[in-house]
């Protein structure tokens, strides 16, 4: 399932001078990774704010506990009080937390709506989770490839272990990237902490997320949903480059892809599931008429609209339908 | 005294006493024995996990990632269903609910027997599951498609059947508790006068009766998806994997309150006893637990913020989840107010209860962070979540279990616990678990995901610290085993009420150890004044 020709590796070398940012964990780090996208900036801000509140609450409780242990221990206070009610106190410790939580909820809701609202996208990235690698596609650019983990003994100097994929997702800096995610076997989750993206890839569903990288650099991620034996070995590398470098990469990638249409993707569904005769447009647009060309996997993202969409399992594997189902 | 003579009537001998038991105290003891046994196994598994994670790279599970996943799954299922629930509900609940309400036994003694033995059978199935085919490497959540098409072996079927039996056991036990508490209270022991542990057991039982059938339904659909060609959770046949998650967490979230409510009850009793004051705001505590029980059913999808839920759903589940902090805060502050003005004796049970209050607060406030759906892109399925739920369960529920153990062991065995060793046990555990779980907040924030046997090298430092904490916890488990040995080999005996005037509930009015039969004659509770565990005419 390796990508053709190791183009990713070559590219890493070519683009290396542009790297100014490394979105990855550091030894002894105790906080969130620095924000590299607008959404993550908001996440970092909200987390910092809530963190102050909760540290205050925890210190208050710890202080009160320490005080009562010191002040009301049996030696210092041999006779216990008998009161067990204080209506005003009970109202206060109900109402004050409500106010604090409201003060958390308002910015929290704002963040949720902001994450949900995807600005007009400059680029669409399709992500498909597999056991145990990622497939990527840029539908508008006709690019698609798989990304596997680089094993420890094949790492180049400076490449982090378990975080290095053999093909980075290259995106232009400053552009809005819409991410569409699905999976073809079990659940996975596409998570890149510094970009504030973490969305499950679910078989049979198409999820959507977005990011906009502020600075050129390498941003590392991983699969965040238990997906079986090699769950820990599904790294993600997002490489943000200036627009010119991105265009160069697109050209290089297209050239690398063209010599062989077989780019390693297993067929997602049998082409025979489509019926060109009942749908002439399929025949016309997709130059896949029987007899002209052998059947095989579709040219991924060749601009055709396929039905069923690729995230539906091949009919050959589809179990019998339930009565009434 | 005829009543005294009757205390040992019809007491079977030998294996019949245990296998055929219908006595609430014997069944409670069986539950506690099962819990301690499973607890040692579950703890051993967690030490294996920490050993593997001590350093980056694979330590001793090279090319055995599936076995690591099986360990993670077994650790979760064992701790939830075979350690915490049997101890808090089956163990302390069976022992002390009848004693606290002045009833001679549970309402359905034979049902009580089958409840326990179903759980024992479930444990056998679970242990078997790990050894069949590649075992269940699905996590305790058993999410499809990993648990269906991702695991063709029969190990997962065994695990599902284990959960089924454990669920049936819990529902039968819960029905028994509800009936007992509603129908067998001593005269004048009105609902609002019930001790808080009894209230916590009532609410936990209601949650069980309402939540477990949802789990049973989901598990049954998993079984038929796996074995009979249905497609409830398979998109190829019109099903949906996310549907399973909704069903699971509709059970799973109440489940965490099922585990923590009895802990609240125990802590209330221990705090009141050792500050020699009735609990502050008895009614407020009851209402707070009711609120937690109700809201607990309305927040399930906060476990699913990243599945692609629509934004309105995420806003609702964020809001509802934040609300839970209010009744929880009421309980924390009421415990502190109980201590305030008290005459505090820092005995071992109170140490554990104070540890509970503080550590549960830490776990609670990180819950407030996680409640924010917007932060899920940074924290969902990260080690921050692992830290959070171990603070509320491993440091919360487990601390309450030990508080209850040291509080009631004299009543159950008639023998004292060793005070010094008990303190050593507390401090070793306190230091060990904090060292283990606090750094996990840092790992999670920096971006370490859950359920991985290996991690990027940057996480090496904090993982080393966490594993060091685990080795201290190993020592604390060994100390606990020594404590057990010292208790059962002790020659001294404790009085009916070893704690003095602070211990006011009815279990302290019967001898220690509690005789085989208690309250064969109804205890007398006056209409006025109120019982001593209340402060006024509530």
**Average pLDDT estimate for B408-423:** 97
- Give the best residue of A91, A218, A231 to mutate against chain B (max B CB count within 10 A): A231
Chain B partners within 8 Å of A72 (Cβ): 275, 339-344
The 10s digit of each residue's pLDDT in A236-266 is: 999 999 999 999 999 999 988 876 555 555 5
Contact A32 B445 (CB under 8 A): yes
Q: What is the pLDDT of residue B395?
A: 84
Is B476 labeled as catalytic in the residue annotation? no
Assess whether pLDDT exceeds 90 at residue A311: no
- Per DSSP, B302 falls in state G
Distance of CA A320 to the CA centre of its chain: 33
Q: How confident is the model at residue A315 (pLDDT cuts 50, 70, 90)?
A: very low
Whether B145 has its CB under 8 Å from any CB of chain A: the answer is yes
The 10s digit of each residue's pLDDT in A38-80 is: 999 999 999 999 999 999 999 999 999 999 999 999 999 999 9
Q: What is the pLDDT of residue A21?
A: 65
Find the angle CA(A238)-CA(A242)-CA(A245) to the nearest 5 degrees.
Answer: 90
Mark B225-253 as b/e (b = at least 16 C-beta within 10 Å).
bbeeebbbbbbbbebbbbebbbbbbbbbb
Q: What is the pLDDT of residue B4?
A: 54
Is the pTM higher than 0.95? The answer reads no
Q: What is the pLDDT of residue A206?
A: 96
Q: Which residue did the predictor score with more confidence, B25 or A302?
A: B25
**Average pLDDT estimate for A218-239:** 97
How far is residue A223's CA from residue A198's CA, in Å, rounded to a whole number? 9
CB-closest option in B284, B315, B323 to A112: B315
The phi-psi region of residue A162 (left if phi > 0; otherwise alpha if psi is between -120 and 50; otherwise beta) is left
**Average pLDDT estimate for B448-471:** 97
The 10s digit of each residue's pLDDT in B328-365 is: 999 999 999 999 999 999 999 999 999 999 999 999 99
Which among B164, B303, B314, B347 is annotated as catalytic? B303
Closest approach of A20 to chain B, Cα-based (Å): 19
Which among B423, B450, B451, B493 is annotated as catalytic? B450
Average pLDDT score, chain B: 95
Indicate the helix (H) or strand (E) that contains B388: helix B383-389
Assess whether pLDDT exceeds 60 at residue B391: yes
The 10s digit of each residue's pLDDT in A78-87 is: 999 988 889 9
- Reading the block at residue A269, the tokens are 């569904």
Contact B311 A113 (CB under 8 A): yes
* ipTM score for this prediction: 0.94
Highest mean pLDDT among A255-259, A269-273, B460-464: B460-464
Q: How confident is the model at residue A320 (pLDDT cuts 50, 70, 90)?
A: very low
Whether B500 has its CB under 8 Å from any CB of chain A: the answer is no
Q: How confident is the model at residue B7 (pLDDT cuts 50, 70, 90)?
A: confident
Contact B445 A85 (CB under 8 A): no
Q: What is the pLDDT of residue B11?
A: 83
Contact B231 A325 (CB under 8 A): yes
Ranking A171-185, A310-324, B430-444, B516-530 by mean pLDDT, the lowest is: A310-324
Contact A53 B342 (CB under 8 A): no
The 10s digit of each residue's pLDDT in B182-230 is: 999 999 999 999 999 999 999 999 999 999 999 999 999 999 999 999 9
Contact B451 A231 (CB under 8 A): yes
Closest approach of A232 to chain B, Cα-based (Å): 5
Average pLDDT score, chain A: 81
Chain B partners within 8 Å of A153 (Cβ): none
Which among B170, B334, B476, B518 is annotated as catalytic? B170
Q: What is the pLDDT of residue B287?
A: 97
- Reading the block at residue B508, the tokens are 């302290």
How far is residue A109's CA from residue A100's CA, in Å, rounded to a whole number? 15
CA distances (Å), origin B316, targets A24, A221, B202, B271, B322: 32, 29, 28, 36, 10
CB-closest option in B307, B366, B382 to A200: B307
Indicate the helix (H) or strand (E) that contains A134: strand A133-138
Assess whether pLDDT exceeds 50 at residue B393: yes
β-pair partners for A145? A136
Whether A175 has its CB under 8 Å from any CB of chain B: the answer is no
- Short-list B406, B405, B411, B404, CA closest to B496: B411
The 10s digit of each residue's pLDDT in A128-175 is: 999 999 999 999 999 999 999 999 999 998 899 999 999 999 999 999
Chain B partners within 8 Å of A321 (Cβ): 231, 237-238
Is B169 labeled as catalytic in the residue annotation? yes
Closest approach of B220 to chain A, Cα-based (Å): 16
Assess whether pLDDT exceeds 50 at residue B168: yes
- Give the best residue of B458, B503, B536 to mutate against chain A (max A CB count within 10 A): B458
């Amino acid at each position: 399932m390796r990508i053709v020709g190791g183009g990713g590796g070559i590219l890493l070398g070519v683009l290396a001078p542009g790297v100014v940012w490394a979105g990855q964990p550091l030894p002894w780090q105790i906080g969130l990774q620095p924000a590299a996208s607008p959404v993550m900036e908001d996440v970092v801000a909200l987390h910092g704010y809530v963190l102050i509140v909760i540290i205050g609450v925890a210190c208050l409780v710890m202080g009160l506990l320490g005080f009562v242990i010191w002040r009301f221990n049996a030696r210092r206070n041999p006779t216990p009080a008998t009161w067990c009610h204080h209506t005003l106190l009970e109202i206060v410790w109900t109402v004050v937390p409500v106010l604090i939580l409201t003060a958390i909820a308002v910015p929290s809701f704002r963040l949720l709506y902001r994450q949900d609202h995807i600005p007009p996208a400059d680029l669409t990235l399709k992500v498909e989770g597999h056991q145990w690698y990622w497939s990527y596609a840029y539908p508008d650019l006709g690019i698609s490839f798989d990304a596997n983990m680089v094993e420890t003994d094949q790492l180049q100097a400076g490449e982090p272990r378990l975080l290095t994929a053999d093909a980075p997702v290259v995106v232009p800096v400053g552009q809005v990237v819409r991410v569409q995610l699905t999976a073809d076997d079990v659940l996975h989750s596409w998570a890149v902490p510094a970009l504030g993206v973490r969305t499950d890839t679910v078989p049979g569903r198409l999820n959507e997320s977005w990011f906009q990288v502020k600075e050129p650099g390498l941003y590392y991620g991983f699969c965040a949903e238990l997906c079986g034996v090699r769950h820990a070995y599904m790294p993600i590398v997002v490489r943000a480059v200036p627009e010119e470098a991105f265009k160069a990469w697109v050209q290089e990638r297209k050239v690398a892809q063209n010599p062989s249409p077989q780019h390693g993707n297993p067929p997602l569904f049998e082409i025979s599931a489509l019926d060109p005769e009942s749908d002439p447009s399929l025949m016309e647009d997709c130059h896949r008429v029987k007899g002209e060309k052998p059947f095989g996997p579709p040219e991924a993202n060749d601009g055709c609209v396929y039905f069923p969409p690729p995230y539906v399992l091949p009919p050959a594997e589809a179990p019998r339908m339930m009565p009434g189902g | 005294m005829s009543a005294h003579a009757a205390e040992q009537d019809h007491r079977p001998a030998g294996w019949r006493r245990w296998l055929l038991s219908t006595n609430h105290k014997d069944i409670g003891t069986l539950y506690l024995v099962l819990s301690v046994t499973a607890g040692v196994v579950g703890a051993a598994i967690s030490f294996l996990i920490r050993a593997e994670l001590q350093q980056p790279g694979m330590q001793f599970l090279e090319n055995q990632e599936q076995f690591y996943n099986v360990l993670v799954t077994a650790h979760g299922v064992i701790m939830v269903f075979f350690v915490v629930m049997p101890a808090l509900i089956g163990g302390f609940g069976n022992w002390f609910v009848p004693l606290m309400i002045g009833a001679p036994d549970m309402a359905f003694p034979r049902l009580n027997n089958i409840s326990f033995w179903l759980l024992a059978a479930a444990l056998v199935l679970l242990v078997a599951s790990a050894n069949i085919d590649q075992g269940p490497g699905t996590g305790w959540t058993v999410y499809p498609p990993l648990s269906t098409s991702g695991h063709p072996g029969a190990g997962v079927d065994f695990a599902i059947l284990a959960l089924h039996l454990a669920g049936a056991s819990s529902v039968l036990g819960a029905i028994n508790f509800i009936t007992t508490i509603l129908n067998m209270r001593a005269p004048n022991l009105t609902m609002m006068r019930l001790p808080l542990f009894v209230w916590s057991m009532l609410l936990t039982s209601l949650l069980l009766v309402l939540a477990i059938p949802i789990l049973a339904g989901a598990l049954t659909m998993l079984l038929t998806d796996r074995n009979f060609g249905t497609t409830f959770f398979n998109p190829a046949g019109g099903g949906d994997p996310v549907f399973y998650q909704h069903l699971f967490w509709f059970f799973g979230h109440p489940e965490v309150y099922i585990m923590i409510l009895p802990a609240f009850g125990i802590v209330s009793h221990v705090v009141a006893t050792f500050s020699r004051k009735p609990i502050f705001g008895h009614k407020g505590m009851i209402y707070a637990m009711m609120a937690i029980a109700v809201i607990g059913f309305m927040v399930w999808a906060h476990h699913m913020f990243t599945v692609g839920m629509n934004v309105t759903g995420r806003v609702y589940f964020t809001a509802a989840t934040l609300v839970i902090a209010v009744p929880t805060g009421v309980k924390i502050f009421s415990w502190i107010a109980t201590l305030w003005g008290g005459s505090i004796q820092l005995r071992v049970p109170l140490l554990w209860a104070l540890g509970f209050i503080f550590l549960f607060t830490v776990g609670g406030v990180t819950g407030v962070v996680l409640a924010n759906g917007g932060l899920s892109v940074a924290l969902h399925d990260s080690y921050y979540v692992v830290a959070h739920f171990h603070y509320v369960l491993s440091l919360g529920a487990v601390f309450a279990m030990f508080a209850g153990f040291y509080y009631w062991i004299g009543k159950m065995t008639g023998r004292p616990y060793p005070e010094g060793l008990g303190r050593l046990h507390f401090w070793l555990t306190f230091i060990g678990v904090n060292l283990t779980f606090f750094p996990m907040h840092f790992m999670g924030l920096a971006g370490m995901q859950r359920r991985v046997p290996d991690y990027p090298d940057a996480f090496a430092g904090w993982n080393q610290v966490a594993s060091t904490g685990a080795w201290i916890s190993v020592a604390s488990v060994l100390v606990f085993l020594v404590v057990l040995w010292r208790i059962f080999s002790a020659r001294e005996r404790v009085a009916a009420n070893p704690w003095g005037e602070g211990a006011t509930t009815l279990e302290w009015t019967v001898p220690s150890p509690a005789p085989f039969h208690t309250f064969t004659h109804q205890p007398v509770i006056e209409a006025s004044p109120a019982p001593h565990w209340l402060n006024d005419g509530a």
